[in-house]
Chains A and B, each alone.
Chain A
Amino acid sequence: MTGPNRRAVLRGGAAAASLASGALTAPALLAQTKSPYAGTTINASCFQTTFFEYLKNYFPQFEEKTGIKVAFSMQAFPVYNQRTDLELSTKGSALDVVNATFIYTGRWIGAGWLTNLDTFTKDPKMTPADWAPEDFVAGTQSAMQNAKGETFAFSWEGGAMIQAAARYDLIEKAGLAMPTTFDELIKVCDATHGKEGVAAFTADKLHHWNWIPYLMGMGGGVFRAPPENLTPTLNTPQAAQSGEWYANLLMKYGPDGLLSYSDDQAMRSQMSGRANIRTQSITWMVPLAKHAESTVQKTVRYGLMPAGPAGNFSGCNSHGLGIPAGSKKKEAAWEFIKWALSKETLAMVVKDHGYPSVCRLSVINSPEFKNVLTLNGQDVASLYLEVLKLGGKTGYMKYRTVPVYPQVGDKINKAIERIATKQQAAPEALKQAQAEAIQDLQKAGIKVDT
């Protein structure tokens, strides 16, 4: 018997190696060829946010699983809204997945610019039962639905307005505690403003978001009965009183130049320990305890937004992912949304990055979420959930989802600036805002009470 010669051994080795490599690559290839979307590229867009910065890290997993490539772009908040508003209005197909911005949801859904996602969630071939659309917090989903209850987006962020004191030690030193009412807030600001060079209060310039909880807390409102009756109610005595009170809060206790602060600037003023209290969405508050550059990690404390004489109306909003009506790749787009907002993906983002604003109850109630949002011994996760439930309970946030809110919000911003800089007294400034808002609503074809 003759043994195998060198050539035969080499030939056999090469064959074995090619078989082995074939076997190793086979599952991936099979998976890709199995997917009906292999080779598809979808275009997605959102405003600049940490959630999608984090999520981008996991895109390769999605691409490997489905064969769909995601071209994701992010812009500054106003730029994103303007571009998307324009793109959706033309029913173009440039975008396949968009962020449904809270203040635009009424406009985009009402005008038929977004796809009804019920067609996907109710089809077992498109969506497995365990994806569980009902797992999303009802309060965050209400803005993503029309009057018939049809769903046009699923929320990825719940903006629950809470209160954070970056230098709680100053409040303690003054013998006080976290303010729970408007009066207590003023008392705390009076006692701590200027101590160690720290301004007592800070805010960004989006007054049509920040001021409204104070307006409602004093018994006022933006519209008479939104979304049915959109007659503005900015010329009421309650609005004037609240406008004066809020402008005073900003100018007396805020850092110099506060009226020009963006979201990020306001957060930085707290992170650097130059300003103490802010009432804003949790997304802007958690970095005070978690961000590597924060100098107030040890001194920050959280609380519910203070309540006014009429109650607690903490701002609560949500942003969701939807599919433009003009998209030509709706099914691939749904695959992306399904993956991005699945329990598994969200749990991963929470676990790996400590993201605080997810909207799935199963994730919010998980020990990991509680763990991530236990900040300086405080259970901030409970505060978050409490605000989301509060918003869903009485529907007081409906004012913000009406199609004309951008116009009315602009009038509110201008009025608060005029009051704060003493160009006008509160009643006149808000009377002017009321008149301008009515003029704009009529331009939009909306009937108002006369």
Chain B
Amino acid sequence: MIPERSASFARQQHRFFAFCVAPSLAALALITLLPALYLLATSFTQLSLTRPETQWDFSQPLESYRQLLSDSRLHNSVWVQVKLSFWTVLLQLLIGLLLALLLNMRTRLIEALRTVFLIPMVLPPIVVAIIWKVIYTPDISPMHGIFRALGWNVPALITDPDWALTSIIIADTWEWFPFTMLMVLAALQMMPQELLDAAKVDGASPWQLTRHITLPFIRGVLLVAGLFRLIDSIKAFPLIFILTDGGPGSLTEVTNYYSYLQAFNFSYLGFSSAITVALLAATIVLSWVIVRAVGWGTKID
């Protein structure tokens, strides 16, 4: 009798949970799933806002995807995206990690510095872009002013083909290294002191402590931070929109910016949707591969 009553109670509990969660799931489906399905459906049309007859025209469902293969500017944008993502994620992880290790020391000065380092991350992205626009515009830039005073002839970085992408990487790294720093710092502060003490007793040097204790401990956090930054780097937009417009030429034109141009400047919503769907699929696959390759962290004995 008792197990039956218990099973019935569990079923009731299940139903109650489902009842409670249902409105949230319905809202979520409405807000995220429907637009995603619409995006997918649109990608199978050649919808152009200036040609209303193309809406819901599925006569050539794979035409937009076929065009993806023959669009050299899109291919270039993918390569630009790869370079931007690689360098920004790498630099943000390295700088964030180094600063977190430094800031993990408990002194008053360092505690004050923590707050200062967080400023770039909490600024609205458009403000960050404007700050860097000022820095990169020679006429009004304090940086260029200093260079001139030192007698160095430094070209305008955002219009120089050798520097345009680097200037975006620098600005993006400045904006987002605090995110990695914050996550690593939180992990470091949860690290049991006994682990370090035990290693010290065994005669471990500071480098050995970092290499064999600290880094394995925060590996999972670094992976999560890296994944977040990777996904965010694929969404890079305000810096490119304000600083370079994808130029000079297409040197800083990443894939999502190209997709935006297709949709909002040229009204090719079908083609733009196909780019977005492909980008989304690539992001999911890439994240899965990284998680599988690196793992979620290691337990330390």
Taking Cβ atoms with an 8 Å cutoff, the residues of A that contact B are 78, 82, 85-86, 89, 107, 110-111, 205, 255-260, 265, 269, 274, 403, 406-407, 410, 413-414, 417-418, 420-424, 436, 439-440, 443-445
Given the interface pairs A89-B49, A436-B73, the reply to whether A423 lies near B155 with Cβ below 8 Å is no
- B interface secondary structure, majority: loop
Q: A406-B266, A410-B266 are in contact. List 16 more A-B contacts (CB 8 A).
A: A85-B264, A255-B139, A257-B138, A257-B156, A259-B156, A259-B247, A260-B137, A260-B244, A260-B245, A414-B247, A418-B249, A423-B249, A440-B266, A443-B268, A444-B48, A444-B51
Q: Is the CB of A421 within 8 A of B46?
A: no
User: Which residue of chain B is the closest to A417 with respect to CB atoms?
Assistant: B248
Q: Is the CB of A403 within 8 A of B50?
A: yes
User: Which chain A residues lie closer than 8 Å to B159 at the CB level?
Assistant: 257-260, 421
Nearest Cβ on chain B to A54's Cβ, whole angstroms: 27
**Is there a chain A Cβ closer than 8 Å to B188's Cβ?**
no
User: Which chain A residues lie closer than 8 Å to B189 at the CB level?
Assistant: none
Nearest Cβ on chain A to B80's Cβ, whole angstroms: 13
Given the interface pairs A256-B155, A423-B249, the reply to whether A443 lies near B67 with Cβ below 8 Å is yes
Partner among A256, A414, A443 whose Cβ is within 8 Å of the Cβ of B46 = A443
Q: Is the CB of B248 within 8 A of A107?
A: no
Chain B 261-281 interface mask (CB, 8 Å, partner A; 1/0): 100111110010000000000
Q: Is the CB of B268 within 8 A of A89?
A: no
Residue among B49, B137, B243, B251 with max Cβ neighbours from chain A (10 Å): B49
Given the interface pairs A86-B264, A257-B156, A257-B159, the reply to whether A420 lies near B50 with Cβ below 8 Å is no
Q: Is the CB of B251 within 8 A of A423?
A: yes
**Is there a chain A Cβ closer than 8 Å to B250's Cβ?**
yes
User: Which residue of chain B is the closest to A258 with respect to CB atoms?
Assistant: B159
Partner among B160, B266, B271 whose Cβ is within 8 Å of the Cβ of A421 = B160
**Is there a chain A Cβ closer than 8 Å to B238's Cβ?**
no
Complex Cα–Cα for A420 and B155 (A):
14
Can you list 23 contacts pairing A with B, beta carbon distance less than 8 Å? A78-B265, A89-B50, A111-B52, A255-B138, A257-B138, A257-B139, A257-B158, A257-B159, A258-B156, A259-B156, A269-B139, A410-B261, A413-B247, A417-B247, A418-B249, A421-B160, A422-B161, A423-B161, A423-B248, A423-B249, A439-B70, A443-B67, A444-B266
User: Which chain A residues lie closer than 8 Å to B265 at the CB level?
Assistant: 78, 82, 406-407, 410
Partner among B50, B160, B264 whose Cβ is within 8 Å of the Cβ of A107 = B50
Complex Cα–Cα for A107 and B52 (A):
12
User: Which chain B residues lie closer than 8 Å to A256 at the CB level?
Assistant: 138, 155-156
Q: Is the CB of A260 within 8 A of B139?
A: no
Given the interface pairs A257-B138, A423-B161, the reply to whether A205 lies near B245 with Cβ below 8 Å is yes
Complex Cα–Cα for A257 and B153 (A):
13
User: Which chain A residues lie closer than 8 Å to B271 at the CB level?
Assistant: 443
**Is there a chain A Cβ closer than 8 Å to B202's Cβ?**
no
User: Which residue of chain B is the closest to A110 with respect to CB atoms?
Assistant: B50
**Is there a chain A Cβ closer than 8 Å to B4's Cβ?**
no
Chain B, range 41-89, C-beta contacts under 8 Å to A: 46, 48-52, 67, 70-73
User: Which chain B residues lie closer than 8 Å to A414 at the CB level?
Assistant: 247, 249-250
Nearest Cβ on chain A to B44's Cβ, whole angstroms: 15
Complex Cα–Cα for A260 and B265 (A):
19
Partner among B46, B139, B155, B249 whose Cβ is within 8 Å of the Cβ of A417 = B249
Residue among A418, A421, A436, A440 with max Cβ neighbours from chain B (10 Å): A421
Nearest Cβ on chain A to B205's Cβ, whole angstroms: 49
Complex Cα–Cα for A260 and B159 (A):
6
Q: Is the CB of A82 within 8 A of B264?
A: yes
User: Which chain B residues lie closer than 8 Å to A260 at the CB level?
Assistant: 136-137, 156, 158-159, 243-245, 247
Complex Cα–Cα for A98 and B248 (A):
32
Complex Cα–Cα for A100 and B156 (A):
35
Given the interface pairs A257-B158, A260-B156, the reply to whether A86 lies near B247 with Cβ below 8 Å is no
User: Which residue of chain A is the closest to B156 with respect to CB atoms?
Assistant: A257
Nearest Cβ on chain B to A232's Cβ, whole angstroms: 15
Given the interface pairs A89-B50, A257-B159, A410-B266, the reply to whether A421 lies near B248 with Cβ below 8 Å is yes
